[in-house]
Amino acid sequence: MKVGIIGATGYGGLELIRFLHNHSEVEKIELFTSSEEGAIFSSKFGHLLSIHDTPLQKIDAEALGSFDVVFTSTPSGVTSKLLTPLVGAGPKLIDLSGDYRLKESASYEKWYKKEPAPESIVAESVYGLTEWNEENIKSASLIANPGCYPTAVLLSILPLLKHRLIDPGYLVIDAKSGVSGAGNKPSQITHFSEMNENFSIYKVNEHQHIPEIEQALTMFADVDTSITFNTHLVPMTRGILATSYAPVLSGVTNKQLNDCLIETYKNHPFVRVIQDTSALGTNRVKGSNYCDIFVQLDERTNRATIVSVIDNLVKGAAGQAIQNMNVQNDLPQTLGLDVIPLFI
Ligand SMILES: NC(=O)C1=CN([C@@H]2O[C@H](COP(=O)(O)OP(=O)(O)OC[C@H]3O[C@@H](n4cnc5c(N)ncnc54)[C@H](OP(=O)(O)O)[C@@H]3O)[C@@H](O)[C@H]2O)C=CC1
Ligand SMILES: CC(=O)N[C@@H](CCC(=O)OP(=O)(O)O)C(=O)O
């Protein structure tokens, strides 16, 4: 396959390159830029010396039309403008931004405060939460890859909601992310001297992933609810840990909660149900496409504590995007992604 990456110089783009380089069905990877046309990639990113010594190319819809797959790993609001000319032009499209995830334009405008993508294109796009939408992904021409937080949260709570084991009315989700989640553009909140030795909350009750999570709960678990969801920045580079709290429904046991997760994911290689909290942390998934999940019933309060961890740049972005490319092209889901987490 011939693959193009728009936004290759960003963190998501670099991770796409890292995994696609080892993908046995990818023969060619070409890199596209909005700002650095002609620059030799490895002179900008020295770790790719003798691996990607090719020049960055100008984004050109006509040239991209001849590719089998095109990934966009560019900012929300910008992406839909770049992708519109490519829709229906030939390549299968996989977008890592938020531009095609929300089905209602008004919701996108409200939460992203940007101009929405054309409605007809959004209607055609398929939400790429791989483990939950495989059949639709197979035939998708445009995949809206999920956000990093929604990936972590949804994989852990969807089975329990779908099987009516927890109460959807009182879902509280507390999520923490490493700084690479904010991309490569420096800002006040990610400035080393203000982020280091600091643990902060941001976008309180107004994170753009709230409507995405709620939409997916309706789509996959037939649950219509409003969640409390808040996000925190942790002074580390990679990883998300999300803890969700929900009352269990009458009579539900700890075993039922765990059995539900184990049964749901028994044939899904990237989701691991963890029984022991000493094996739960962002370093257990770092650099890999795994999502580790854990659930425990607090019998004192009758509430479930549900935890999930991912690497935001892999299962939360580039890894899941390649997993989706594999499904879309009838390849084994693990192709190119079969790596052991970094751990240390
Ligand atoms: N970081 C994360 O953990 C996750 C990110 N995402 C989403 O994936 C996308 C990429 O994220 P990430 O790689 O972190 O972002 P980065 O900010 O690291 O990189 C984005 C890249 O997009 C390109 N770009 C910037 N502005 C424009 C523009 N106006 N027109 C065209 N290209 C532009 C730039 O490359 P160049 O200048 O070479 O064109 C830049 O390197 C974003 O939409 C993000 O929200 C999703 C899940 C997780
Ligand atoms: C740490 C950090 O800042 N993380 C980002 C996640 C970015 C992302 O995935 O946003 P999209 O929905 O635009 O793809 C955030 O909280 O906004």
Name the pLDDT band for 198 (thresholds 50, 70, 90). Answer: very high
Alpha-carbon distance of 99 to 114, in angstroms, equals 9
CB 283 within 8 A of CB 342: yes
Answer yes or no: is 335 within a domain. Answer: no
Answer yes or no: is 43 within a domain. Answer: yes
**Is residue 159 domain-shared with residue 248, that is, in the same domain?**
yes
Find the residues whose C-beta lies inside 6 A of ligand 1.
Answer: 7, 9-13, 33-36, 73-76, 78, 82, 96-97, 147-148, 180-181, 183-185, 312-313, 316-317
Q: Kindly state the DSSP code that residue 273 receives in the 8-state scheme.
A: E
Average pLDDT for 228-257: 97
pLDDT at 114: 97
> Is residue 98 within 6 Å of ligand 2 at its C-beta?
yes
**Residue 161: partners with Cβ closer than 8 Å, 6 or more residues away:** 168, 217, 221, 223
Average pLDDT for 280-290: 97
Q: How far is the CA of 275 from the centre of ligand 1 (A)?
A: 36
What is the complex's ipTM, to 2 decimals?
0.97
- Phi, psi dihedrals of residue 315, rounded to the nearest 5°: -60, -30
Identify the CATH number of the domain in which residue 301 sits.
3.30.360.10
Of all protein residues, the one whose alpha carbon is nearest to atom 15 of ligand 1 is 183
Task: Identify whether 291 is a catalytic site residue.
Answer: no
- Total domains in the chain come to 2
pLDDT at 279: 79
pLDDT at 69: 98
Q: Which amino acid is at 283?
A: N
Tabulate helix, strand, coil % of the chain (nearest 5).
Answer: 35, 20, 45
Average pLDDT for 222-239: 98
Answer yes or no: is 74 within a domain. Answer: yes
CB 55 within 8 A of CB 38: yes
**Is residue 27 domain-shared with residue 84, that is, in the same domain?**
yes
Average pLDDT for 222-231: 98
User: Of the ligands numbered here, which is closest to the C-alpha atom of 310?
Assistant: 1
Average pLDDT for 139-165: 98
Q: Which of 148, 175, 240, 321 is catalytic?
A: 148
Identify the CATH number of the domain in which residue 80 sits.
3.40.50.720
Of all protein residues, the one whose alpha carbon is nearest to atom 3 of ligand 2 is 182
pLDDT at 55: 95
| 112 CA closest ligand 2 atom index | 13
Alpha-carbon distance of 112 to 209, in angstroms, equals 9
pLDDT at 277: 82
Answer yes or no: is 142 within a domain. Answer: no
- Phi, psi dihedrals of residue 95, rounded to the nearest 5°: -110, 130
> Is residue 73 within 6 Å of ligand 2 at its C-beta?
no
**Maximum pairwise Cα distance, the chain:** 64
Answer yes or no: is 334 within a domain. Answer: no
pLDDT at 336: 98
Q: How far is the CA of 301 from the centre of ligand 2 (A)?
A: 33
Q: Determine whether 283 is exposed, middle or buried from the number of CB atoms within 10 Å of its CB (0-12, 13-18, 19+).
A: middle
Domain region containing 165: 149-313
Alpha-carbon distance of 180 to 190, in angstroms, equals 9
H/E element, 264: helix 254-264
Q: Compute CA 314 distance to the chain's CA centroid, rounded to the nearest angstrom.
A: 7
pLDDT at 339: 97
pLDDT at 276: 85
Answer yes or no: is 337 within a domain. Answer: no
278 pLDDT above the threshold of 90: no
Answer yes or no: is 184 within a domain. Answer: yes
pLDDT in tens, 305-343: 999 999 999 999 999 999 999 999 999 999 999 999 999
pLDDT at 31: 97
